[in-house]
Structure formats: C-alpha cells, structure tokens
Amino acid sequence: MKTLSNSALRTALLGSFGLAALIGCNKNNEPEPNKPTPGGNNTCSYTVVSVTNAINTPTTWQSCKVYVVGPNVTLGSTLTIEAGAIVKFQANAGLSLTAGGRIEAVGTADNPVVFTSVLDDANGGDTNNDGTATTPAKRNWGSIALAGQSGSRFEHCRFMYGGAGAPNTTLDLFGASATVRNCRFVRNGGGAPNFKGALSASRAPTNTVIEGNTFYLNEMPLRITNLYSLNNSNTFSNPANAAEKNDYNGIWVEDATSTSVALTWGETEVPFVVGGLTLDAPMTLEPGVMVKFDDLGNLVLTASSGRILANGTAAQPVVFTSIHDDATGGDTNANGNATAPARKSWRGLVLNTTTGSVLDNSRFYYGGSGGTVLNLTGAVAEVRNSVFAHNGDDVSTATRAVLDAHASAGGTVIRSNTFFDNVRPLSITSNIDLDDSNTFSNPANAAEKNQYQGIYVDWNANLLKPNVSWGETEVAFVNLSNIDLAPANTLALGNNVVLKFNPGLQMTLRTGTSQLLNHNGSGVRFTSVKDDALGGDSNGNGTANAPAANDWRGIYIDTLPGVWVQGSHILYQSH
C-alpha cells in the first residue's frame, strides 16, 4: 500500500471540483439529482491511498480516506473498514478473499462505507484527476469475492458501478456465509450472461443474513439459495423515486445441493424466481409473497419434514405464476411485452407424500405443464380459498387435473377454491369429502369455465375412509373407474349432485341402496360422461357427441339375486 504525494493528492482532490467540492456534494450536502447517495461526511479532506499489494496481516482502512484498489488484490487476513472510508476500484479490479480473509465494513446511516468506481467523482472527489472527461457506469470495476471465507460483515455500505467480468456480480458470497445489512446497491451489473445479481448469494450457506438492503438501477439485484430465509426488509426500488427499479426485478433462487433447512420467504415487493427447487424441510410463504417460475420450472417438497405453509389473505394472497406474467410483480424477465404468459408455461408445485401443508388464499396461474399445477400425490394437505386460473395441459390421463388429489392421503381438505380457464380443474380420490363451496367458473364472468368441466374421481373403494360425502352441484363428479362400495361403506350425496360415468363403467352396491345415501334426492342424477346438459361439458369436446342409451352400465346391487337399480334419475345406462 502507498500514499500519494502531497502535490498529487492536492491535484487529485481538487480536480475540477474546487475547494468547496472535496466530498462530492453540493453546498447543502445533497447528492446530485438521480445520482446514488454519496458517502462520507462534510468534515473530511480525503487522503488518497493506493492499494496494489496483497493484504495478509490485520489491516484497517480509515475514515476520511479514499483507497484506490487495482489491479486485483487478495485478502488473507481481517480487513476492517471504518465508517466514512471510500474504496474505489480501477477498471475491472476487485478484492478476493483467500484463506483467513474477512472484511468488517461497518458504516452508519449518515457515514456509510462506499465501494465504487475510480471514475465516481460524487464520492471522494475527482480521484483520477480527469475532471468531467469520464463518468462512472455499470460494470466499471469487478467484484468483492468472499471465495468461501465466512464471517464477513457489511453494514451501511454503498456498492456502485461494479459487476465487470465473470460472474458479473459486485458482492459475491460464493461459498461463504456473511451478513449484508442496510446496504445500498446502485447501478451495478449482475445480468447477462451469468445472471448472478449485484449481490450474489447463490452459493452462500446457512447463517447468511441479507436484510434491510436497497437495490435499484442494477441489471439484476439479488440471487440467493435455499439455505437461508429472506424477510420483507429489503427494498427493490429507489426510495426517493419508486420508478427507478432494476432491469430484472426479482430474487433469483438456486437449488443448493446441501440438505434443506426450514425456510421463510417474506419479500413482497418483487417475486422470487425459481427454476427447479426441491426441499425436504418446511417452507413458509408469508402473505403477499410472489413466486415466479422459469419455463417448465417446479417446486417439489418431499417426505419427512417437507411441507409448505402458504397462508395468504384475500388482500395479500400468495401467488405462484409464470416468469412471463408481468401483471404479477412486474416485468421480471425484462423483455417488455415480447412474451406473454400462457397455460403450462411452468410445471407445478409437488407435495410428494408430505403432511401438514396448507395453501390458503393462494393463486396458481399459467402452470400445469403435464396437466397438474398442484400435485398432492401421497400428501395430506389443506387447500382453501385459493384460485386456479389459466393452467393445465390436455394430456390423455384424466387424473392429471390442475389440482391433482387423485392419490392424496386421507385427511386432505379442498374447500372454497375457484377454478376457471383451466384444462381439467380437479381430480380427487374417493376418500375425500367435498362440499358445495368450490366454484368452477370465473366469478367475474360466469361464461369462463374450464375446458373439461368436472371433478374427476379415481375410485379406490373407500379403503381409507369408508363413509364419504359429496355435495358439489356446479359440476359433476366424473368417475374414471368402477365404483364398488364394500358392505360397510357408504357414499352420501347432497341434493342436485350429479355423478357421471365413462363408457362401460358401473356402480356396485354390496348390500343395497342404503349404502348410497340420498340416491334419489332432489336433483340427484346418474348419467353418461357425454351428457353436457347436466354439470357441463365434462369430456371437453363441445357438441362432438351426444349421450345415448348404453353409454354406461348402471347401478348394480350385488345380492342374491342381484338387481339393477331403476329410476328416472338414472340416465343413458344399459341396465
């Protein structure tokens, strides 16, 4: 490290600013309009210190000094940076930690630590002594790379004009846990081609803390991993001008290879962006959280302790949608209106044999590649007050509905949800009670229904729950296999419930109609899947075919002698 001569210092400091501009502020100590907030304080006459050599002993960088780093400098010991110090970097230069390296950069709200470009005259003066010949810009300098060394702390810092060179980030926590709190990231890179963010914590382990920071006018603000939580304290626009955001405005999430930890996501200003993520620990999404998925992206929670708790509110739902959905969380993929969201843009949320998940006041949009946007295979979950819209894939397997509970475990609750503009809205197993609280059309436009209008039932003979109750009346229960009620089992139907059957199927009662409670109640009907007059177009083919006699077999009582049930409420059967 070396100190500039007095004459060089005088020239560097004064430049074209004059004596009144030693700290790069106007007479009221205010930043220039639309410029990042300057650091330092108005009592400083900055000394410029050149830093070119490796730092391998404990070192302190002092307040009221400008440290010019370049070319790249390695740090193998503790570097303490005092409040009010300014660190400027030559073109493409950076700091990289080696074994034993740690940075303790703790400023204050009024006197931050500043990391910026040597071209930045607004902070610490005209350090490169070129007047107005050059101006700072994104990617002027490289990055501060923690390189696997944990324990660094950055509080009340300013990071500006960084992100040159791979991985195009400004503060890189690769492999290192650190605390980044109350810092400001302004006009940094982080975008193409690496998309690591101005603050890259994509490989940071547990114990990483990122809170109270502000990001604006960066290419991409932040990339994290699934090993630590993120609350709602960070800001992704300029507090003085809300229109100044980031190009790619979101929080990108990478799937760590390590064992999952319990996660809570609370950020509501911008969405979390997920490609593929697998968790075997609890995940909590707070009201107002948005999760956007890359094309064909998904979120999988597995057995053991994996579950999701997404308890939104009517005013602040939890939203799962496509990265192309600019109506939710803004233009996250920074392409204007070049792309639009559509059905099956992403895959879905999979709760694989998990227990205890709750999705209340959630929204699922534009997913369902492969048919399903919420898969409850082997899971016990509660899905309430949620909206499923513009989802699904017209695959041949009818159980692959948007909400697929055809193989869910006993105790699953599906209540007061809304389904519209999906392919198939809902499939269930026969051990699920279903009341009349779900809606299968758009409340704002009743004509907007689903392509296949029905609840698709994979019948399993009520092995897990012998007494089941169905009450839904807006659409029919479409049975995809034979119904066979064991002697002690019952199926209770509410008034106006419609059961439809695919060709060749039948219902078998082992003791009599006492097993089929309210089978001849008001409006109760048993009919063909082709019968669009009852419960809508359940086979999704419009008017391509019409119901006719012998479409399905009927209801059979398997006693001695056996008998087929007759009645005007049983339509288009063969017996």
Q: What is the pLDDT of residues 225-251, one digit of tens each?
A: 999 999 999 999 999 999 999 999 999
Asked, for residue 575, whether it belongs to a domain, the answer is no
Asked, for residue 410, whether it belongs to a domain, the answer is no
pLDDT at 257: 75
pLDDT(32) > 50: no
Query: What does the radius of gyration of the chain's CA atoms come to, in whole angstroms?
Result: 31
Asked, for residue 159, whether it belongs to a domain, the answer is yes
Q: CA 214, CA 191: separation in Å to the nearest integer?
A: 17
At 3, the pLDDT band (50, 70, 90 cuts) reads very low
Asked, for residue 343, whether it belongs to a domain, the answer is no
Whole-model pTM over 0.85: yes
**Nearest by Cα to 373 from 405, 341, 409, 397:** 405
Give me the number of domains the chain comprises: 1
Asked, for residue 459, whether it belongs to a domain, the answer is no
Question: In terms of residue numbers, what domain contains 216?
Answer: 1-258
Choose the weakest-confidence range: 9-23, 60-74, 214-228, 315-329: 9-23
Across residues 328-356, what is the average pLDDT?
96
pLDDT(9) > 60: no
Across residues 463-487, what is the average pLDDT?
92
Residue 220 token pair: 């991409």
Average pLDDT score over the chain: 91
User: For residue 288, how many C-alpha atoms fall within 13 Å in the half-sphere facing its CB?
Assistant: 9
Asked, for residue 350, whether it belongs to a domain, the answer is no
pLDDT(40) > 70: no
Query: How many residues in total does the chain contain?
Result: 575
At 41, the pLDDT band (50, 70, 90 cuts) reads low
User: For residue 392, how many C-alpha atoms fall within 13 Å in the half-sphere facing its CB?
Assistant: 27
pLDDT(34) > 80: no
pLDDT at 303: 82
| Strand-pair partners of 81 | 61, 105
Give the helix/strand (H/E) hosting 320.
Answer: strand 318-322
Across residues 273-294, what is the average pLDDT?
97
Residues 6+ apart with CB under 8 A from 212: 181, 182, 183, 233, 234
Asked, for residue 67, whether it belongs to a domain, the answer is yes
Q: CA 372, CA 361: separation in Å to the nearest integer?
A: 19
pLDDT(1) > 70: no
At 462, the pLDDT band (50, 70, 90 cuts) reads low
Asked, for residue 199, whether it belongs to a domain, the answer is yes
